[in-house]
Amino acid sequence: MNTVYATSANVAERRLAPPSLAISTVIFALRPSESSGRPTLWLPLVRRIREPFKDMWALPGGPLQHDESLQDAASRNLRETTGLAPQYLEQLYAFGGLHRSPAQRVVSIVYWALVQPTEAALADESENVRWFRADRLAELAFDHNAIVDYALWRLRNKMAYGSIAYHLLGEFFTLAQVREVYEAVLDRQLDPANFRRQIKGTPEIEETGEYLQGGKHRPPRLYRFTGTPGLGPDNRSTP
């Protein structure tokens, strides 16, 4: 979305040129809310340093290079802008409306990623890269608000079926932490006892002998996720 096929063509020539192709990524991570301290969804945005939409916040992205696959391009600009390696990365949608960008036509293939909080804490932040709460975004450049909305919708949807919540957690976690992820993403309270029964029913989750120490109350058992990310035609598996 940031860079387009460099050319000195004038406007008339641009109309005939093929649309330029860009890759962008919506990156989700959990961070404790400033107010409640409970985990909430955050995402990193970059400040645009040129027109169009100069000085507005936008999704990280860039052009597709000729020697990288779509997914590689997404990984790369994720790494370049935030320094992060995603735990989960999947194609979201190809956006190709006629007027997404003034002056020239841009088709954006957008990916979405989940990163673990330990990673997310290390993420680069600077004048031009900052994390925002996913549910409290200002007006973004291009059609990026709509893209984020769609990414959130997909995340909630996947969460309801697939086993995706674990990619927002570290290697070991308690069942209460899993529940907090669900509560943060679905934005509603869940009954702890029933939730635990359900989660324990899934085979992709494994008890460890360890317990989380240092809490204020009875130490909860730690679990580990043994499933695979899997999805999409590139690496297929779930709904």
Partner DNA sequence: TTAGTTCTAGTCATTTTGACTTTAACTATC
Partner DNA sequence: GATAGTTAAAGTCAAAATGACTAGAACTAA
Q: Measured from the CB of residue 181, what is the shortest distance to a second copy in angstroms?
A: 19
Tokens of 177: 């932490």
CA angle (208 as vertex; 178, 29 as ends), nearest 5: 30
| Part of the chain binding DNA (CB under 7 A), chosen from 2-10, 55-63, 156-164, 195-203 | 195-203
The entry of DNA, a second copy, none that residue 194 binds, CB within 5 to 8 Å by partner kind? DNA
| Residue 29: closest CA among 163, 156, 132, 158 | 132
Query: Between 119 and 149, whose beta carbon lies closer to a second copy?
Result: 149
Per CB under 7 A, does 191 bind DNA?
yes
The entry of a second copy, DNA, none that residue 159 binds, CB within 5 to 8 Å by partner kind? none
What span, in angstroms and rounded, lies between the C-alpha atoms of 198 and 120?
28
For the sheet containing 221-225, what is the strand order?
172-173, 221-225, 205-211
Q: Please select the residue that binds a second copy; options are 1, 43, 59, 64, rule is CB under 8 A.
A: 64
Per CB under 7 A, does 230 bind DNA?
no
What span, in angstroms and rounded, lies between the C-alpha atoms of 47 and 214?
40
| Residue 152: closest CA among 22, 2, 23, 27 | 27
Per CB under 7 A, does 197 bind DNA?
yes
CB within 8 Å of 99: residues ≥ 6 apart? none
Per CB under 8 A, does 9 bind a second copy?
no
Per CB under 8 A, does 170 bind a second copy?
no
Q: Measured from the CB of residue 197, what is the shortest distance to DNA in angstroms?
A: 7
Per CB under 7 A, does 220 bind DNA?
yes
Instruction: Judge whether 137 and 56 are in contact, CB under 8 Å.
Output: no
Per CB under 8 A, does 8 bind a second copy?
no
| Residue positions counted in the chain | 239
Per CB under 7 A, does 200 bind DNA?
yes
Tokens of 161: 């079926």
Tokens of 82: 């935030």
DSSP state, residue 161 = S
Per CB under 7 A, does 175 bind DNA?
yes
| Residue 229: closest CA among 105, 84, 71 | 71
The entry of DNA, a second copy, none that residue 161 binds, CB within 5 to 8 Å by partner kind? a second copy
Residues that bind a second copy (CB under 8 A): 5, 15-21, 63-64, 66-70, 91, 93-98, 105, 107, 109, 146-147, 149-150, 153, 157, 160-161, 232-233, 236, 239
Residues that bind DNA (CB under 7 A): 174-176, 191-194, 196-198, 200-201, 211, 215-221
